[in-house]
Structure 1
Amino acid sequence: MKRQIEYKFRVRELMARAGMRNSRDLVDPLRDRGITLSESQIYRLVSQDPDRIAFQVLAALCDIFAVEASDMFTYTSVDVKTKRDRAAVGQGTDVPLLEAYRPVRARIRRPEDD
């Protein structure tokens, strides 16, 4: 069975706890730790859940907020039902294969040809 994983990046919440109101407030602390990102990149990092993140950026954010990496995001995983391909014929034991049946060619005759 497949599992679907959903996650929530909690940078906005950690910023609020630290008294940071704007994504620009992260520019200087990140630069102090050797991470140079543009304001738009930091805004996307704060406002959206990133698909991928550099380990250096994650470590810098953990250092800025004094939290562990597990505190930076929450996740849930759920079992997902997979759809089975529907087939007109079962496993082959219930009904013979349709390919085995061939139509009989029809012959049309005139009554006088009999």
Structure 2
Amino acid sequence: MTGAYDIIWNIRQIMATKGLFHTTDLVPLLAERGVSLSREQVYRLVTSTPTRLNLEVLAAFCDILNCTPNDLISFSRADTRTTTTERTASGEIPRMQPIGDLRPTPAIIRRPTH
């Protein structure tokens, strides 16, 4: 059943609406809910669409982000036509979803005057 659906993983957009712009912010929040994942594992879960996802992790994400699984995952029937697209080094097709105006506030670094 590979390729039957286009799956869209919306966690980055939902994180941005909650003011969470770094994947490392999720590590202690997941640990509070009994989910022990390394920061690398959390990074991979957030930045790419998982093919498999533990229900405890999904429930923790929903609790942290105050959303439902339907908010995190959306899908549609895959288009049967094949198109040539760019692929990443691992062979995946990048799916960047725009997050609109939700951007972190840039830091202003000021050097002390002598």
TM-score (norm 1): 0.65
Q: Which has the larger radius of gyration?
A: 1
Q: What letter corresponds to residue 75 of structure 2 in structure 1?
A: Y
| Higher strand proportion (structure 1 or 2) | 1
Name the structure 2 match of 1:85.
Answer: none
SS of corresponding position for 1:80? coil
Q: Per-residue deviation at 1:39? A: 0.5
Aligned ranges for residues 70-109 of structure 1 at < 5 Å? 70-78=70-78, 80=80
Say what the alpha-carbon RMSD is for the aligned residues: 1.5
Aligned to 2:97: none
- Out of 40-49 and 3-12, give the one that drifted further: 3-12
Structure showing the higher helix proportion among its residues: 1
TM-score, length basis structure 2 = 0.65
4+ runs of 1 displaced by more than 2 Å?
A: 78-81
SS at match of 1:56: helix
**How far apart, CA to CA, are the structure 2 residues paired with 1:17 and 1:30?**
18
Tell me the equivalent position of 1:15.
15
Instruction: Give the gaps of 5 or more residues in structure 1.
Output: 82-114
Gaps of 5+ in 2: 82-114
Alignment size in residue pairs: 79
| Inter-CA distance 79–46: structure 2 relative to 1 (3 Å threshold) | closer
1:44 alignment counterpart: 44
Secondary structure of the structure 2 residue equivalent to 1:36: coil
Percent sequence identity over aligned pairs: 35
